[in-house]
Amino acid sequence: MKIGFIGGTGHIGEGLALRWGKDSKHEIYIGSRNDERGEEAAGKYREILDEAGYSNDISGGDNRFAVENSDVVVVCIPHKSVVETIRSLEDVFDCQVLISPIVPMYKSDGSFCCEDCCAAVELDDAAPDRVDVVSAFHTVPAKGLSEFDRPLDCDVVVCGDDSETKEVVFDLIDDIEGMRGLDGGDLSVSQLTEAMTPLLLNVSIRNDISHPTIKFISP
């Protein structure tokens, strides 16, 4: 699979790129607003995997480069910049699957809160109709992903309207050891999974649990 990252120079982009990039399982395209920054980040990820003995196929450039080379694109940028960024890339989109890990949240009086909106639906509205949007990975801490050899033990809730497109994302989740994808429903209910991240962060801070994630169990 050819996987591109808009804003792949940041935390979640690095974590997912390392996980999917190792052993040349996928072709990875790191994007940035600045092509040199994208190339630099790709070089850093290549070096990390080379040093650990993993073959890899990672290249970098600007966000347009990442989109035009990919079948699946992860949108790894802050919520406030999503609509403007996606509209600016409108002409480069073909029929890619767009993955939204975007969490619309803010901090108030020491607690994280969710904004009254759904980032995945906003992304879907801003993207061309030929693109399919699926939301996933909100509750996976970037830090845990970046330690790319550490097995995980977590669930990822996936929301989207098209079952075939969701399958593409479930397959990518299966490629990450210790991660299980669960169907959370249509894109319209993605706000529920987006809201889990501020909850996790508040629990983390108040209970001194570093990088918490979620796992659904049947007691």
Ligand X SMILES: NC(=O)c1ccc[n+]([C@@H]2O[C@H](COP(=O)([O-])OP(=O)(O)OC[C@H]3O[C@@H](n4cnc5c(N)ncnc54)[C@H](OP(=O)(O)O)[C@@H]3O)[C@@H](O)[C@H]2O)c1
Residue 79 near ligand X by CB under 6 A = yes
Residue 33 near ligand X by CB under 6 A = yes
Taking each helix axis as running N to C, give the angle between helix 11-21 and helix 35-51, from 0 to 180 degrees, rounded to the nearest 10: 50
Nearer of residues 23 and 35 to ligand X, judged by Cβ: 35
Q: What is the DSSP string of 161-175?
A: S-HHHHHHHHHHHHT
User: Which of 1, 83, 142, 173 touches ligand X (CB under 6 A)?
Assistant: 142
Residue 76 near ligand X by CB under 6 A = yes
> DSSP letter at 95?
S
User: Which of 85, 135, 146, 165 touches ligand X (CB under 6 A)?
Assistant: 85
Minimum CB distance to ligand X, residue 218 (Å): 25
Q: Compute how many residues bind ligand X; rule: CB under 6 A.
A: 24
CA distance 83 to 115: 15
Residue 102 near ligand X by CB under 6 A = yes
From the list 147, 151, 158, 213, the residue with the least C-alpha distance to 176 is 151
From the list 93, 132, 139, the residue with the least C-alpha distance to 114 is 139
User: Which of 29, 112, 137, 148 touches ligand X (CB under 6 A)?
Assistant: 137
Minimum CB distance to ligand X, residue 55 (Å): 25
Residue 103 near ligand X by CB under 6 A = yes
C-beta separation of 42 from 59 below 8 A:
yes
CA distance 174 to 8: 21
Nearer of residues 34 and 111 to ligand X, judged by Cβ: 34
| Helix, strand and coil percent figures for the chain, each rounded to 5 | 45, 20, 35
Nearer of residues 210 and 218 to ligand X, judged by Cβ: 210
Which residues contact ligand X by CB under 6 A? 7, 9-13, 32-34, 37, 76-79, 81, 85, 101-103, 137-138, 140-142
